[in-house]
């Protein structure tokens, strides 16, 4: 897997969420379960970053992220939403894919490189479509890891 971040197979899940707070809660849950992290601290970090401005990336994707002391290298999760949700993205489009990224508190450049790698992936219309249409979370994980590995090569 990409050396920029850890990406566990169980960090991909499908969820039904009605609004941004529910998405952040589900994302904190997925990150905390997948990487054995304190749920409340993860949620607090994501919420604090979101207060600075929406992490709605555009084109149906959000990328909530935070720097916290709980991780020693960046970790990633992906939520595939059952129905698109307004996330306050600059383009006004609701999101159907939510990537979560947690990086160590002092990981300035590493955090930015991980964000850039994810944003490159989600700008690809074919990858976005495949992630939405994947028949299950395992298929979405496999497709995404293949894409990340190709991008890193």
> Which residues belong to the active site?
65
Identify whether the C-beta of residue 39 lies closer than 8 Å to the C-beta of residue 145. Answer: no
Distances (CA, A) of 93 to 10, 27, 42, 105, 149: 27, 20, 26, 31, 28
Give the separation between CA 70 and CA 146, rounded to whole angstroms.
27
């Amino acid at each position: 897997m990409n050396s920029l971040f850890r990406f566990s197979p169980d960090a991909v899940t499908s969820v039904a969420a009605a609004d941004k707070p529910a998405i952040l809660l589900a994302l904190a849950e997925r990150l905390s379960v997948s990487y054995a992290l304190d749920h409340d601290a993860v949620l607090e970090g994501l919420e604090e970053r979101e207060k600075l401005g929406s992490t709605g990336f555009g084109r149906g994707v959000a990328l909530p992220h935070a720097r916290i002391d709980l991780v020693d290298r960046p970790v990633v999760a992906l939520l595939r939403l059952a129905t698109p949700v307004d996330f306050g993205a600059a383009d006004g489009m609701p999101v159907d894919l939510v990537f979560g990224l947690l990086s160590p508190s002092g990981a300035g450049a590493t955090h930015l490189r991980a964000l850039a790698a994810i944003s490159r992936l989600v700008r690809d219309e074919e990858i976005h479509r495949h992630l939405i249409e994947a028949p299950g979370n395992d298929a979405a994980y496999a497709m995404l890891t293949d894409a990340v590995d190709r991008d890193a090569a």
